[in-house]
A and B are shown apart, each in its own frame.
Chain A
C-alpha cells in the first residue's frame, strides 16, 4: 500500500488552471522530489498534501486515509505523522531555536520539561547545529542555520513523512551539499519518507530515488534521475539540457 496516493488531482487557482490531471504515488521509505518550471504548481501540490489548500477536484490518500473526506480527528492524526520545513524556515520569530523545537513536543507529548529539552537538543544536534545555537533567536541565524533549525523542528515528533520545500534554496554550494548529506543521514537514521520540492539539480542527483516532473498541468514523468534526463519530452529536455543541468558531470 503506497503511503501517499494522489489521483486525478485538479486545481484551479484564481480562475487559472494549475493542475488538470495529476496522478502519482509515493511509497514508504522513498525519497521523491517534485520538480518543474516556475508556475508548474509544485508548491500547490505540497499545500494540497499538507491540507493547507483544498484541491478543486481529485482524491488524495495518505496513510490509507482519504484526507479530503475524513473527520477532523483523522486530519490531525495524519498531520502528526508529517513534518514540514517551509521555504523561509517559518520558525516562530519570538521563540529561540530550542523553544521552537520544544514547541511541538510540549503540545503533543506528556514528557517532562527536562526530557523535552534534552530531546529537542538532540534534534538540534541531529540537524547539524551546534548546541549553543539553541538559545539564539531565528533572526540571529544565518540562512543555512535557519534551514537546519527548521528541519530540527520538523523532526521534533519523529514524523514518518517529511516534506521539504526548497530545502537548499538560498544556500551556498557548501552548505547546500552539507544539507543534502544531512537529508541522507536523517533518512537512513530515522527511516523517513521524504517529499522534496526543489530546483537544485545536485539535490536531485544525490538524494532522490525518484523525481516527479510537473508540466502541462500533470505529472509528465515519475522516474529516477538517470532515466528522467533521457526522457524525450521537450520540457524535460529543456530543464536538464542547459549548462545548469549538470548532465555530463553525473553521467
Chain B
C-alpha cells in the first residue's frame, strides 16, 4: 500500500527529511504541508531523501519545484541519500524544465466582435446551405441519363427509411388518433354531436397530423442517421476517396437519399393516415358508440378527397427538406466526435423547425386559395 508523501524539519540535526512515496496518487496533501513548513532563514542545511521509497515524475517535479523555490530564497542546502535511479529522474526533469512554458489560454473575444463573428457565421452557413441545395440540383442533371441513376442506393434508402419505419409510424399514428378522438369526443358528447367525430378526425388526421407526425418522426429517425453516416464518412476520408475516383459525393450520397425519402415519406404518410383514422375509429367506437361500419360510411360522405390530397401535397417538400438538411449537416462535420454529435443535433432541430415553418406556410397558402 502506498504511503502518502511527507516532509518534516528536524531542528536538532538541521535537516529537512523527505519521507513516504512521492507518487502522483500520494502527493495530494504535500503542497499544504510545504506551505506550513517553516525553518530559520539563512541557515545551511541538509535535505535527507533517503527515506523516500518510491518516486515518479510527478513526485520528482514536486521536488524540483520546491528546491527551486528554496534556491530562489537563497537557502543553501545539500541533497543527500537520493537513490541513483531517482537522482537520474530528477536530473532529467530539471533538464527538461526549461522547455516548459505554460501556454497562454486562448482568450474569449469581447462581446461585440463575438456577436459580429457569430452573425457572419450564421449568414455564411445560410448561404452555404443554399449553395448545397443548388449543388444537389445541378448534380441532378447527371441523372437525366437513366443509366446514371443509382437504383440500388435508392432502393436501399427506401428500405431503410421507409419499410423499417412502418411499425413505429403505424403505432404512433394510431396512438395520436386515439388521443385526438378522445379529446374531441369529450366535447362532442356534451353537444350530442357524436357523429361529427368523423368529420373532425378526417380533417385533422389527413390534412395535418398524418403528414406532420410522419415528417417529424422521419426527421428524428432518418435525418439524424444521414448526418451521422455522412459525418463519419467524412472523418474516415471516405468522401475524399470518392472524389479521387472522379465521382461526385453529392451524386452518390445525397441524391439517393433525397429520392429515397421522396418515395418513402408520401407512402409513410398514407400509412400514418390509415393508422391515425383507425385510432379515431377505435376511440369513436369505444367512447361514442359509433360502430366501425357507420364510421367508414360517414367518412366517405363527409371527408372529401381534397382533404387527403392537400395533406399529401406537402410531403415531398418535407422529404426534400429532411434529406437536404441531414446531408448538409453531415458534410459540415469537422474532425471530432463532438462535432458529429452537435451536427446531428442541429440536423434534427433544423429539419423539425423547417418542417413546421413549411407546414404553416402551406396553411397560409391554402387559406388564400380558399381550400
Residue numbers of A with Cβ under 8 A of B are 92-94, 98, 105, 108-112, 115, 117-119, 121-123, 125-126, 130-132, 134-135, 137-139, 155, 157-158, 188-191
Bound form: Cα–Cα A191–B334 in Å: 39
Q: Can you give 17 contacting A-B residue pairs, CB < 8 Å? A: A93-B339, A94-B336, A98-B103, A108-B24, A109-B25, A111-B58, A121-B102, A122-B100, A123-B57, A125-B99, A126-B57, A134-B103, A138-B336, A155-B57, A157-B24, A158-B23, A190-B56
Residue in contact with A137 in the complex, picked from B92, B99, B336, CB distance below 8 Å = B336
Pairwise interchain contact B100-A93, C-beta atoms closer than 8 A: no
Residue in contact with B27 in the complex, picked from A92, A109, A126, A191, CB distance below 8 Å = A109
Instruction: Classify the secondary structure of A's interface with B.
Output: helix
Pairwise interchain contact A105-B89, C-beta atoms closer than 8 A: no
Pairwise interchain contact B100-A125, C-beta atoms closer than 8 A: yes
B96 within 8 A of A: yes
Bound form: Cα–Cα A97–B337 in Å: 15
Task: Give the shortest distance, in Å, between A142 (CB) and chain B (any CB).
Answer: 13
Q: Which residues of B contact A189 (CB under 8 A)?
A: 88-89, 92
Residue in contact with A93 in the complex, picked from B89, B103, B335, CB distance below 8 Å = B335
Q: Which residues of A contact B93 (CB under 8 A)?
A: 122
- Interface members, chain B 80-111 (any A CB < 8 Å): 85, 88-89, 92-93, 96-97, 99-106
Q: Which residues of A contact B339 (CB under 8 A)?
A: 93
Give me the 7 closest cross-chain CB pairs, A-B, nearest first. A110-B28, A93-B336, A158-B56, A139-B335, A94-B338, A131-B101, A125-B99
Residue numbers of B with Cβ under 8 A of A are 23-25, 27-28, 31, 56-58, 61-62, 65, 85, 88-89, 92-93, 96-97, 99-106, 334-339
Bound form: Cα–Cα A195–B336 in Å: 29
Bound form: Cα–Cα A157–B334 in Å: 30
CB closest residue in chain A, given B99? A125
CB closest residue in chain A, given B101? A131
Bound form: Cα–Cα A221–B302 in Å: 86
CB closest residue in chain A, given B23? A158
Using known A-B contacts A134-B103, A190-B57, determine if residue A109 contacts B24 with beta carbons closer than 8 Å.
Answer: yes
Pairwise interchain contact B338-A93, C-beta atoms closer than 8 A: yes
Bound form: Cα–Cα A190–B23 in Å: 12
Task: Give the shortest distance, in Å, between B101 (CB) and chain A (any CB).
Answer: 4
Name the residue among A105, A110, A132, A158 with the largest chain B CB count within 10 angstroms. A158
Bound form: Cα–Cα A157–B57 in Å: 9
Pairwise interchain contact A105-B103, C-beta atoms closer than 8 A: no
Excluding A109-B27, A125-B96, 7 further A-B contacts by CB distance (< 8 Å) are: A112-B31, A117-B102, A119-B61, A123-B57, A132-B103, A134-B103, A189-B88
